[in-house]
Every structure is written in C-alpha cells, then in structure tokens.
C-alpha cells in the first residue's frame, strides 16, 4: 500500500493499456488497492493487459478535459502515458514523442485541481547527457549527469521537461511529485513487433522467427557492440512503488546495472533457445548512444533497494511469453 492511503482511496494509472502501465495496475490490485482507475488512448480490446477489477477508460490525455476526468477524486496518480517505443521509433518520430509534454502538463494541472496528494512521473535514462554515453565501456550514469542538459533529441527533451514541470508543481503548489528514470524496461506482456519494440523483445522475436523460418540468420542493428543495461518489469514495479511511497523528491534511477553488449544479449537469447545463428549487421540502422548503464548508488541509499533481477532469468520469461504469443492458438490478452 502507498503510505497515508486506504485500500479505498482512488489511484489513477495512465498508459494502463501499455506494457509497464498494465503490469502496474495488476500489481496495485494485488497489493490490496481496491479502487484503481486505468486510462489509455487505445481501444480497450487493444490493451496488453486489462484487469476486470479496475475502472478502465479510453481517454486522450493530450486534452485537458480528459485529464480532469481521469484525475477526478484521485489520491495518487501514476503517469506512464507517452507516445514512445524503441530506438527505431524515437529516432524517427521526434515530434510525436515531444507532444507527450501535453499529457504530463495537463495531468499535473488536473491533479492539482483535484487535490491529488501524490503524483508519479515515469521519466527515462534518455534524459542523460549524450557526451557521457559515447563509448561502450561507459561510466554508469549518476542522477546529476542529466545537466548541463544534452538529452536524447525529441523523447529525451520531453522527459527532461516533464521532470522540471513536476519539480515546479511540487515547489509552487505542494503536489508531492516523484520521478523515476527508467532504464530499458522489458518483460512479458509488451510490444515485440511492429516497430515500437525494444531490444530484448526484438531479439527474442528475431530468434524465434529464424527458428520457424529456418533462415538460420538474425539481423542486428549497428555493430552489436553498443552497450546497455536492461531492467526486468518486476524490478521496475518494485522501484516505482517504493519511490512513490518515499520522501525522495529528486529523480532517481530505476534500472539494472548489469551491462551487456547487444551481441551478448543475442548470445543469451540464443542460449535460451538452444540455437546459434549467423549475424547480419545493419550498420545504418538507428542505435542510439554508444553505451548506457545505471549508477544505483543514490537509489540504494534513498530506498534501501536496487534492482536485483538477472538478465538471463528475465529474458527466459520474456522469450517464453513471446514464443507462446506468436503461436496461432495463443490466447488473447484479457
């Protein structure tokens, strides 16, 4: 439970039809919150997960009146709504990503007007300075490395602006805002095809496709030596809820510090699948920064916790879910 809240206080989760939002709704219900309002722009039958116990609504939160409807009567708001995806999407849809500033701005206004107590904003490691991420053997990113500002163009600027908005709504209006900088969250019940998927899901899908078509080959964007850390969804949820319950007002990393190359990521998925594939590298494809990892010093000190999930364990669960979802008889999400 979130401190100072009862099981019957209303909690809003935006982006609830998406990957992290869908998991968060389920986790809040599991932890005893009986009144959860779930909101997304997608039609309800297109949500990745939909809990029958939640008040699920389709609303366009870029519009202020929709945000007022969503936030009415809430004690806490988790804002995970954004137009985003993997690197292939955010590098080619910068304006669309930037327009998500409307969601957070209008939702902050609505939460203030509704007398909401706590407001969570899902930010991203894309806010960090590009000049701290230009080598593969990257120094882990500390929270202070977001300034002087040089974030990912488009999506990163939107997230950094959203963080500042939260800060000033806390300072000016007393809204208790909390901000997490997510590092590459992955797991089951998320996008794995269509252009918005992130690297772990994309690699799982490509390995499965290579097996099923018999091609014996996998396409990798870039040279495969770019480095990242990947955060399993269970760790993301735990960090989110601990941060929301805390008195920490500055942004915190919520991310694994287990650094791997994309080639090593492919190695792990191949090992899970029991195959070895030829690798075809697309050097012209979008790859983002050369290296990115999370420094978990501050989150450990502030919350007494940091992500602990092993990448191979999380990838196995993700691979198995995608494999089941790609079968013709796979059950639809409910």
With contact defined as beta carbons under 8 Å apart, do 232 and 309 qualify?
yes
Question: Looking at the DSSP assignment, which residues form a beta bridge with residue 261?
Answer: 227
Nearest to 200 by CA among 309, 99, 103: 309
State the Cα–Cα distance between residues 130 and 112, nearest whole angstrom: 33
Phi first, then psi: what are they for 39, rounded to 5°? -130, 140
Catalytic residue, chosen from 128, 155, 182, 319, is: 155
Instruction: For residues 167 and 189, give the distance between their C-alpha atoms in angstroms, rounded to a whole number.
Output: 32
Active site residue 155: yes
In sequence order, the 6+-apart residues with CB closer than 8 A to the CB of 292 are 125, 128, 133, 138, 141, 183, 184, 227, 228, 229
* Angstrom distance (rounded) from CA 130 to CA 289: 7
Decide: 159 and 124 in contact? Cβ < 8 Å.
yes
Which of the residues are catalytic? 155
């Amino acid at each position: 439970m979130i401190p100072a809240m009862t099981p019957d206080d209303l909690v809003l989760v935006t982006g609830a039809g998406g990957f992290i939002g869908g998991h968060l709704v389920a986790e809040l219900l599991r932890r005893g919150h009986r009144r959860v309002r779930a909101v997304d722009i997608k039609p309800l039958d297109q949500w990745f997960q939909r809990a029958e116990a939640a008040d699920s609504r389709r609303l366009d939160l870029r519009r202020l009146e929709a945000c007022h409807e969503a936030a009415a009567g809430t004690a806490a708001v988790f804002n995970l709504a954004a137009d985003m995806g993997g690197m292939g999407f955010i590098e080619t849809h910068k304006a669309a990503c930037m327009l998500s500033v409307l969601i957070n701005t209008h939702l902050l206004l609505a939460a203030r007007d509704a007398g909401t107590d706590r407001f969570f904003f899902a930010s991203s490691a894309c806010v960090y300075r590009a000049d701290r991420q230009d080598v593969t053997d990257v120094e882990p990113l500390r929270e202070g490395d977001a300034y002087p500002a040089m974030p990912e163009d488009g999506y990163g600027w939107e997230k950094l602006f959203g963080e500042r908005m939260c800060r000033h709504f806390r300072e000016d209006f007393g809204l208790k805002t909390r901000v997490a900088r997510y590092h590459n969250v992955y797991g089951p019940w998320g996008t794995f095809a269509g252009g918005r998927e992130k690297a772990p899901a994309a690699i799982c899908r490509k390995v499965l496709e290579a097996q099923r078509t018999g091609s014996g080959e996998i396409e990798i964007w870039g040279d495969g030596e770019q480095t990242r850390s990947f955060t399993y969804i269970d760790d993301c949820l735990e960090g989110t809820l601990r941060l929301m319950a805390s008195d920490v007002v500055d942004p915190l990393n919520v991310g694994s510090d287990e650094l791997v190359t994309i080639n090593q990521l492919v190695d792990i998925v191949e090992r899970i699948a029991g195959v070895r594939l030829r690798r075809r590298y697309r050097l012209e494809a979008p790859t983002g920064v050369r290296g990115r990892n999370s420094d978990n010093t501050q989150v450990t000190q502030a919350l007494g916790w940091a992500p602990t999930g092993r990448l191979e364990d999380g990838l196995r669960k993700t691979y198995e879910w995608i494999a089941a979802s790609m079968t013709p008889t796979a059950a639809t999400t409910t």
